[in-house]
A and B are shown apart, each in its own frame.
Chain A
Amino acid sequence: MDRPVEHEDLDLLAHVLLPVADKEDALSSATALEPYQPDHVTALHVVEKGQGVPDKTPVAQSEAVAEESFEAVRMVFPDADEHTAYSRDIVGAIFDAAAEVDASAIVYRSRGGNRIVQFLSGDRSLKLITTAERPVIALPRV
Chain B
Amino acid sequence: MSEEELAKDLGLVSAMTIGIGTMIGAGIFVLPGIAAQRAGPVVVLSFALGGFIAVFNALSVSELGTAMPKAGGAYYFINRSLGPVFGSISGLGDWLGLAFASAFYTIGFGQYLGELIELPSVLFLNSIQVGAVLAGVAFVGVNYIGAKETGGIQTIIVAILLGILTLFAVVGWFSFDWGTVTGSGGLTPLGTAEILPATGLVFVSYLGYAKIATVAEEMRNPGRNLPIAIVGSVVIVSVIYTILVTLMIGIVPWPELDLEAPVAQAAEVAFPAAVAGLAMTVMTVAALLATASSANASILASARINFAMGRDRIVSDWLNQIHPRFATPYRSIIVTGGMIVLFIALLGRDVGLLAEAASVLHLIVFALLNLAVIVFRETDYPGYDPDFEVPLYPIVPILGATLSLGLIAFMEFWPQVIAVGFVIGAVAWYLLYARRYTPIQGALGEYIRERPDEMPDVAVSAAEAASPEATAAYRVMVPVANPETADELIAIGCTMAEQNDGVVHAVHIVEVPDQTSLDYVADKLDEIDPDASERLASAVETAAAYDVEIETHTVVSHRSFQEIFASAERLKADTVVMGWSPRRPWTTGRTGGPLEELTLELPCDFLVFKDRGLDPSKILLPTAGGPDSDLSAEAAKAFRDLHGSTVSVLHVIDEETERAEAMGFIGQWAAEHGLGDANLLVETGGDIEGEIRAAAADHSLVLIGATERGLLIRLLGDSLVYDVVDQIDQSVLLAERPAKRSIRERLFRRG
Contact = CB atoms under 8 A, between A and B. Distances in A.
Interface in A10-55: 21-22, 24-25, 47-55
A61 B9 contact: no
A53 B154 contact: yes
B302 to A, nearest CB: 11
Interface string B554-597: 00000000000000000000000000000000000000000000
A116 to B, nearest CB: 11
Contacts of A53: 14, 148-149, 151, 153-154
Given A52-B151, A57-B327, A86 B6 contact: yes
Contact of A65 (B6, B151, B311, B322): B322
Interface residues of A, number: 35
Given A24-B324, A61-B322, A48 B146 contact: yes
Interface residues of B, number: 44
Contacts of A71: 742-743
Interface in B222-256: none
Given A21-B327, A59-B217, A85-B6, A50 B322 contact: no
B524 interface: no
A117 interface: yes
Interface string B144-162: 0110110111110000000
B146 A22 contact: no
A121 B11 CA distance: 27
Given A49-B9, A86-B9, A25 B303 contact: no
B215 interface: yes
A64 interface: yes
Interface string A50-79: 111111111111111101100100000000
Contact of B149 (A47, A50, A120): A50
A84 interface: yes
A121 B326 contact: yes
Interface in B287-318: 297, 300, 303-304, 307-308, 311
Contact of A52 (B6, B14, B324, B326): B14
B10 interface: yes
Given A56-B300, A59-B7, A59-B71, A111 B218 contact: no
B322 A22 contact: yes
Nearest to B151: A52
A7 interface: no
B534 interface: no
B148 A67 contact: no
A64 B746 CA distance: 12
B327 A51 contact: no
A111 B322 CA distance: 16
B325 interface: yes
A87 B151 CA distance: 12
B70 interface: yes
8 closest Cβ pairs, A-B complex: A52-B151, A58-B71, A86-B6, A56-B146, A54-B215, A51-B9, A58-B307, A56-B328
Interface of B: 3, 6-7, 9-11, 14, 18, 70-72, 143, 145-146, 148-149, 151-155, 215, 217-218, 297, 300, 303-304, 307-308, 311, 320, 322, 324-329, 333, 742-744, 747
20 contacts: A24-B324, A47-B7, A51-B9, A52-B14, A53-B148, A56-B328, A56-B333, A57-B303, A57-B328, A58-B217, A58-B303, A59-B7, A59-B218, A60-B217, A61-B320, A62-B322, A65-B327, A67-B743, A88-B151, A113-B325
Interface of A: 21-22, 24-25, 47-65, 67-68, 71, 84-86, 88, 111, 113, 117, 120-121
